[in-house]
Chain A
Amino acid sequence: MSEEVAWKRLHPASLWVNLVPRTWRTLWSLWPLVLLAVVGGGGVGVRPEDAVFLLFFLVSGAASTIVHYLTLRYRVVEDRLEIRQGLLNREARAIDASRIQNAEMLRNPFHKLAGLVEVRLETAGALRTEGLLSALSEQQAADLMARVDAARGREPVDDDATEKEPVARLGTLELLAYGLTSHRAGMAGLLLAGAYEVASVLDPMAAERAALRAEGTQIAGLVLMTLALAAAISALLTLLRHHDYRLHQSGEELASEEGLLTRRKVEIPLRKVQLVHVEETLPRRLMGFGTVQVETAGIGEVGEGGVRAPELTVPVVQRPRLFAMSRRAVPDPGFDPWSQELRPAHRRALWRTLIQLTARHLLFSAVALTGGVVVAGVVLSLLPVLWLAAWLDWRYQGWMLTDDALIARRGFWRRHTWVVPRDKLQAVHLVQGPVLRLAGLGRVLVRVAGAQVLLPDLATHDARAVMDELCPA
């Protein structure tokens, strides 16, 4: 049977559609080296040896794109997608359609010019996108999705004819609010360091003089300016990524569509959702919204810092609608953590944190004594601030176990709320170090496919009860 189905290949335009983004991605990932090559070595310009070094990476990337196009073949046989590729290392993959967690269709500007689509099919637990077909014609992509859907036992979907219930649509102002409240302190630091590095290469003496003569207000102004620049960059990136954001529901599926240059469309069957994660940083809480992330067992994409990004993000959801939005993705947990009180973390958990924090900080202050009494004093004076932060963090922790879901919340500055359907649990761990045991506390860690949720510290008997309730003998 499998011999009768012909293998298909990528669209010929795959080469140039992928080459430019690939080259850009390589340059982006190597930006410190590129910066060093351009402004390093005592002047502006690229030395031949640096050029060869950079060229090596660019040529390897290009070669991999060419090999990908020349060798990739795919077909759908019965209920599985088969892909084979590779020149030296040949790979053959068979992906069972029922195991596909989510399907994503992506169109970068080059795809749009050529009328092509990139299809990504993700399975559980894989370390990369298992089914990546980087350039198919729209017809090819539609045929493939129809066959995969048929193999998954899903009714064929006619995008125009199917009734789609609009769930959310975000405008520029909402996206700006999201972008401006994204965490970009790291970017600000990098900008500051990068600017100083460039200045010190162009005119080392002037840069050093400026750094040494800078006064407190000038430094504060510079930091504020950099933070503002980082926020502006963040807002711009957000607008590019989430432009014209739309979320809709078609039957048992959630689908989002977003992006200005690269248009990204994600479809998630609701039965594959592992958990809903709601992030409400303090600025977002003050502005009255949170960000909802829907996670499946698929690998998703690798976000900043290598952290796995969620499959579907709703950047802005007004606070009164957070519960309704989470209920769309997971079955009704029977408890609204945004209007009802969660069960608190144990009081001893606060004492444990305060004692541990104080001991660590006193040690740190003792070390700071080597820099003088004033330095040690300054370090020590930060202790009440840390106590306050610890108290706030403890105060806003919470958890609740209902018949259908486990709900957990942590954090004051960056508040996270997780809603985990109980029928998705993979394992439950109860962890107790010596200090926790001494305090009569236990820490429950719940794992679902591809993610884990840590409950606040509970009294040992409560932790045992939660564990027994989640995983009955």
Chain B
Amino acid sequence: MEQLSPRVIWLWRFGSLIRTLLFWTPIAAFAGVGVAGLGGTAAGVLVAGGPLALVLLMGLAWPSLSWRHFGFALREHDLLVQRGVLYRRRTSIPVSRIQHVETRQGPLERMLGLSRVLVFTASGFSAEGSIPGLDTPRAEALRDTLARRGEDDGV
């Protein structure tokens, strides 16, 4: 199985940090202030800081685990994608069924030189296969290879 670029770990860590700052920190602060009013400053800091520290720690560690469990293989007849630490998903997409392939880059991905490859079939369930965090030249090569291999789409 081919692995993603290790740089994607930093991309995911950064995404997790942003989510923590924008979502979890205000909630923790709100809870902390509430508890501090009832049980004193120390209790407030503990209630706000404890879970927040845990979320931050998870945000640092989880991307490494995700990277380790993510793999894909372009085989003769299908594209195989495997992902997930707790919830594992293994997807097989026959290459003959691929309708179109896209590469996408957000600002952070551009900074890190990474791209996502999205594979669409006629199933109508958004992108059937998604491979994030590939070096851009590798993503483009994969996109071109997959896009050229479509045959009978079975529809």
Distance (Å) between the CB of A48 and the closest chain B CB?
A: 44
- Stretch from A66-74, A401-409, A428-436 at the B interface: A428-436
Given A425-B154, A447-B128, are A467 and B121 also a contact pair (CB < 8 Å)?
A: no
Identify B89's interface contact among A274, A424, A431, CB under 8 A.
Answer: A431
Given A426-B123, A427-B129, A449-B124, are A471 and B92 also a contact pair (CB < 8 Å)?
A: yes
From A428, A448, A450, A471, residue with most partner B Cβ within 10 Å: A471
Cβ of B89: which chain A residues have Cβ within 8 Å of it? 429-432
Secondary structure of the B contact surface, majority rule: loop
Contact indicator B86/A433 (Cβ below 8 Å):
yes
Given A424-B154, A427-B91, are A297 and B122 also a contact pair (CB < 8 Å)?
A: yes
Cβ of A265: which chain B residues have Cβ within 8 Å of it? none
Interface size on A, residues (CB 8 A): 30
Q: A424–B93 Cα gap in the complex (Å)?
A: 12
Contact indicator B88/A425 (Cβ below 8 Å):
no
Contact indicator A471/B122 (Cβ below 8 Å):
no
Contact indicator B78/A473 (Cβ below 8 Å):
yes
| B19 interface residue per 8 A CB criterion | no
- Which residues B56-114 have CB closer than 8 A to chain A? 75-78, 80, 86-94, 97
Cβ of A426: which chain B residues have Cβ within 8 Å of it? 93-94, 97, 121-123, 128, 154
- Which residues A414-440 have CB closer than 8 A to chain B? 423-434, 437
| B155 interface residue per 8 A CB criterion | yes
Cβ of A470: which chain B residues have Cβ within 8 Å of it? 92
Cβ of B90: which chain A residues have Cβ within 8 Å of it? 429-430, 467
From B76, B86, B88, B129, residue with most partner A Cβ within 10 Å: B88
Given A124-B155, A425-B97, A427-B92, are A432 and B87 also a contact pair (CB < 8 Å)?
A: yes
Interface size on B, residues (CB 8 A): 24
Given A433-B86, A470-B92, are A125 and B75 also a contact pair (CB < 8 Å)?
A: no
Q: A471–B121 Cα gap in the complex (Å)?
A: 14
Contact indicator A431/B87 (Cβ below 8 Å):
yes
| B23 interface residue per 8 A CB criterion | no
Chain A positions 95 through 112: 1 when the CB is less than 8 Å from some CB of chain B, otherwise 0: 000010100000000000
Q: A424–B152 Cα gap in the complex (Å)?
A: 10
Cβ of B80: which chain A residues have Cβ within 8 Å of it? 473
The residue in chain A whose Cβ has the minimal distance to the Cβ of B88 is A432
Cβ of A471: which chain B residues have Cβ within 8 Å of it? 77-78, 92-94
- Which residues B3-50 have CB closer than 8 A to chain A? none
From B77, B89, B129, B155, residue with most partner A Cβ within 10 Å: B155
Chain A positions 257 through 272: 1 when the CB is less than 8 Å from some CB of chain B, otherwise 0: 0000000000000001
Contact indicator B155/A434 (Cβ below 8 Å):
no
Contact indicator A427/B155 (Cβ below 8 Å):
no
A-B complex: 3 closest residue pairs judged by Cβ atoms: A471-B92, A426-B123, A449-B122
18 A–B pairs (Cβ distance < 8 Å), ordered by A: A124-B124, A125-B122, A297-B124, A427-B94, A427-B128, A430-B91, A431-B89, A432-B88, A432-B89, A437-B88, A447-B121, A447-B123, A449-B124, A450-B122, A452-B125, A467-B92, A473-B76, A473-B78
